[in-house]
Amino acid sequence: MSSLKLAAHAKVNLCLCLGTRQADGFHAIDTIFHSLALHDDVRLDVQPGSGRVTLEVEGDPTVPEDDTNLAWRAAHMVLGPAPFDVHVRLLKRIPSGAGLGGGSADAAAVLVGLNSMLPEPIFDDALLELAAHLGSDVPFAVRGGTARGRGRGQLLTTLPTPSGWHFVLVKPPFSIATAWCYGEWSKEARLLDGRAVCVPAGDVRATLHNDFEPVVFPQYPALATIKQRLLAAGCLGALMTGSGSCVYGMVPTADEAERVAKAIADVPGLVLTTASRDQGVGQVVLR
């Protein structure tokens, strides 16, 4: 048996702007992804077999252990007809239903790791194409760092990673359905009309924007309160990531992140601190 352990890193959106619905049913977006040090652990155990995929999840009982999990689908996609069985073990640290890309990160780690373990691995472009079939965020999760994503988010342009930023993440005790967010946003007709607006500024704080906030905050006022609390506690910028429900604040040092986290410790939900990361999937060979 061969085993490999990988780190599947979370992301935030520094900017998220929405466009019209496309022929494939998806809305065009213009976003800036940014990797975080916060990560899930993904372990792959591969042995000769008949192409069977099994999945085990620790740390979050809400995450499925069947073919509805992107990590399971990623393993099955890479394994194909190869004469091997793979067992995937996920140790969840990234909160689910938060807009932090945990499911996409897990899938990306499985793609990268399992591909490297097979006798005939595929090349980078083909791997990213597989990633795009799994989900719009998965290609970025493979690459990591900071990137502008257009189309459904899968058309990536690498950007310099802002250095030195630390993050305070607040995941309230509820999640928000992405489909609901798009539906509500469409009712308001807040359309891009083809404008490319997520252009990185010299100061990351000037980039922070999320088109979902004016739709989500009136229905979930607790998120607006969290954002206000983060700013009042000293964060230099704060924003909801993706379609929520996580709201993050940015500070320049780890000590500042810990101070802010303590200042808002009474906010219902989970409060975490983390830092920027300039790469995607990380891996360690076990044997």
Active site residues: 11, 137
Radius of gyration of the chain (CA): 19
For residue 248, is it left (φ>0), alpha (ψ between -120 and 50) or beta?
beta
**Cis before 245 (ω within 30):** yes
DSSP 199: P
62-96 residues labelled b (16+ CB within 10 A) or e (exposed):
ebeeeeebbbbbbbbbbbeebebbbbbbbbbbbbe
The backbone torsions φ and ψ at residue 166, rounded to the nearest 5 degrees and listed phi first, read -120, 155
Question: Tokens at residue 45, please?
Answer: 């155990």
**Residue position matching structure tokens 């067992």:** 87
Say how far apart CA 236 and CA 260 lie, in whole Å.
11
Rounded to an integer, what is the distance from CA 129 to the centroid of its chain? 18
User: How far is residue 235 from each of residues 201, 203, 242, measured CA to CA in Å?
Assistant: 18, 14, 19
